[in-house]
Amino acid sequence: MINLYQKLDILPTASEAEIQAALISKQTQLEPNIIQAIQAWLLVADVRVRYDAKLQEVYPEFFQIDGLVENEAEQSILQLWQPEIIMLLALIFSPIFGAWLVVMNWREIGEDADAQFNLYVVWGLIALALLMVLVSSVTGMVVSPLLSVMVAVFVWACWFGLLGREQLNFVRNELDNVYEYKSWLKPIIVLLIGILVYFVCIILLILLLKQLGLLHPSLAA
């Protein structure tokens, strides 16, 4: 659960005027969803009461005068890539890409077991993709574009239903969709490098099969 008081560098006993002043002061530093959460949870009296009660259950020491944490670094807000966008990118590009992003998000959240399981999925899907290339290169089997798309959508649906949706629901229900958006520059770079490495691996695999005399005649030419 996100501690919005620490995001504003104020105490939980702050008045509405103090909250508004802190919000104005830090508005340029906060993500839009954080600002919305502050306005909806801290500036509405009855909602704030419920929020404080829930926050006190999670961070009881924060409400003890001697233990008030004023250093934002101690309870920094999570930085995540938006799960909704991850699911869409996984459908457009590959569940491999989506699963890798989910791994990074789980690590940031602190759910190492979920991160590790999704990492197994990443390597498993990579191995499956290379195996399909191997089989196609040896047998000369050609898969129609339509069938390829259908298989890709099926794999995505299985991944989303079993793993992807879990993070989507966690962020919505446990974090209340309150987190800082991470830049998409790194994932885009990783995606481009991943595509390049994948095609290099395919070329090397085909050259190896040709050298071993296992490459199908239709591809050997």
* Whether residue 90 has pLDDT greater than 70: yes
Q: Quote the Cα angle for 197-92-104, to 5°.
A: 65
**Of 219 and 131, which is predicted with more confidence?**
131
Q: State the average pLDDT over residues 70-98.
A: 81
Q: State the average pLDDT over residues 84-89.
A: 94
Look at phi and psi of residue 140 and say left if phi exceeds 0, alpha if psi is from -120 to 50, else beta: left
**Of 138 and 76, which is predicted with more confidence?**
138
**Of 66 and 51, which is predicted with more confidence?**
51
d(CA 193, CA 155): 22
* Whether residue 72 has pLDDT greater than 60: no
Q: State the average pLDDT over residues 174-202.
A: 91
Q: How confident is the model at residue 180 (pLDDT cuts 50, 70, 90)?
A: confident
* Whether residue 110 has pLDDT greater than 50: yes
d(CA 5, CA 172): 20
Q: State the average pLDDT over residues 86-98.
A: 93
Q: What is the pLDDT of residue 56?
A: 87
Q: Which of 22-36, 37-51, 91-105, 132-146 comes out lowest in average pLDDT?
A: 132-146
Q: What is the pLDDT of residue 174?
A: 82
For residue 34, which of 48, 50, 23 has the smallest C-alpha distance? Answer: 23
Q: What is the pLDDT of residue 68?
A: 47
- Read out DSSP for 140-208? -----HHHHHHHHHHHHHHHIIIIIHHHHHHHHHTSTT--EEPPSHHHHHHHHHHHHHHHHHHHHHHHH
Please provide the size of the chain in residues. Answer: 221
Q: What is the pLDDT of residue 194?
A: 92
Q: What is the pLDDT of residue 144?
A: 82
Q: What is the pLDDT of residue 143?
A: 76
* Whether residue 67 has pLDDT greater than 90: no
